[in-house]
Structure 1
C-alpha cells in the first residue's frame, strides 16, 4: 500500500526537521512544497506531502507517523 501524509508547520527550522525526519524514515517527497500566510496568527506556514510504500492493507486506524 502507498501511505500519504501532509506535513505542515510554521516557516521555521522545525518544519525542515519534520520533513528531514520523514525522509530519514523512508518517506519520499510528493509534489512541491506549499507556503501560505496564516493571517489570524500573522505567520507563514509551510507544507509538504510525502508518500511511502508499506506492507499491508489500508485502515483508518493506521498511525501514519509511526510507519
Structure 2
C-alpha cells in the first residue's frame, strides 16, 4: 500500500497516559502498517506518566535499495560453528 489508509498522515505522534488504551492505539497503528520511529518518550505531569510514540508509514522500496548478489551453498553450513 503506497499511502496510509483512511487519509491518515504518513507521520504521526501518538500521545497519552501510559495505560492499556495508549498501548492499544500504538498496536492498532502497527496493525495498519505503520512502523515505530524511534523509542517512546516519557514524562510525568505530576499525577501520571504521559508517553509519546512516533510512527511512520514505510516508504516503498526503490530499485536502488536492493542489493543483488548470492550466497554460496556452503555458507549456511559454516554459520554457527566456532
Instruction: Normalising by structure 1, report the TM-score.
Output: 0.69
Pairwise CA distance, 1:9: 1.1
Query: Where does the alignment leave 5 or more consecutive residues of structure 1 unmatched?
Result: 55-67
Specify which structure has the bigger relative contact order, considering alpha-carbon pairs within 8 angstroms and separated by 6 or more residues. 1
Pairwise CA distance, 1:53: 4.0
Q: Secondary structure at the match of 2:33?
A: coil
Aligned length: 52
Structure with more of its chain in helix, by fraction: 2
Please identify the structure whose Cα radius of gyration is greater.
Answer: 2
Instruction: Normalising by structure 2, report the TM-score.
Output: 0.57
Structure with more of its chain in strand, by fraction: 1
Paired residue for 1:61?
none
- Runs of 4+, deviation exceeding 6 Å: none
**RMSD between superposed Cα atoms in Å:** 2.0
Structure 1, residues 3-40: CA drift from partner, whole Å, max 9, x if none? 1100011011111100000000000000011110013x
2:49 corresponds to which of 21, 44, 52: 44
Query: Where does the alignment leave 5 or more consecutive residues of structure 2 unmatched?
Result: 4-8, 60-82
